[in-house]
């Protein structure tokens, strides 16, 4: 079974938002964590508005969400700050003051990184 994801690309100074389809295989026999869906609706907001992050992850009981603000429209900072831990299927409302990337991670962290998965989505603030 294949799931169709949408990737968000930000095009520099033009403030253009472009969506590209990305296919990610979903294998029901896997026992490791699988991100089935991680989206932001809407993906573009005006300052003061709210977007809703929603997700569905298999084979874990909870996920961690972090936010990275993008200063001056440049690439996201290396440092993320935690929004919190949530159930494996859920939603949360966010209202960033400037463009932000949200990173969801789940699964046990091992020394090699195996077993841990992550996904990200951006909310563009105009």
Query: Is residue 16 a part of any domain in this protein?
Result: no
- Per the structure, the count of domains in the chain is 1
Q: What is the CATH number of the domain that holds 64?
A: 2.60.40.730
Mean pLDDT of 47-61: 93
In eight-state DSSP terms, residue 109 is: -
pLDDT in tens, 4-39: 333 333 333 333 343 444 445 555 666 778 889 999
The average confidence (pLDDT) of the chain is 74
Structure tokens at 23: 């296919």
Is residue 34 classed exposed, middle or buried when 0-12, 13-18 and 19+ CB atoms within 10 A define those classes?
buried
pLDDT for res 81: 85
Query: Is residue 101 a part of any domain in this protein?
Result: yes
Identify the residue with better confidence: 113 or 52.
Answer: 52
Q: 85 in helix, strand or coil?
A: strand
Tell me the pairing of strands 62-69 and 81-87. Answer: antiparallel
- Whose tokens are 């789940």? That residue is 106
Q: Which domain holds residue 111?
A: 29-125
């Amino acid at each position: 079974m294949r799931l169709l994801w949408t990737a968000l690309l930000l095009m520099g100074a033009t403030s253009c938002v472009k969506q590209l389809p990305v296919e990610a295989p979903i294998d029901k026999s896997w026992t490791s964590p699988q991100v089935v869906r991680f989206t932001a609706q809407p993906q573009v907001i005006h300052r003061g508005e709210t977007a809703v992050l929603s997700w569905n992850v298999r084979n874990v009981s909870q996920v961690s969400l972090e936010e990275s603000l993008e200063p001056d429209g440049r690439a996201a900072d290396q440092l993320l700050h935690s929004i919190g831990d949530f159930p494996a299927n859920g939603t949360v409302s966010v209202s960033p003051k400037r463009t932000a990337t949200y990173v969801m991670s789940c699964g046990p962290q091992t020394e090699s990184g195996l077993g841990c998965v992550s996904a990200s989505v951006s909310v563009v603030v105009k």
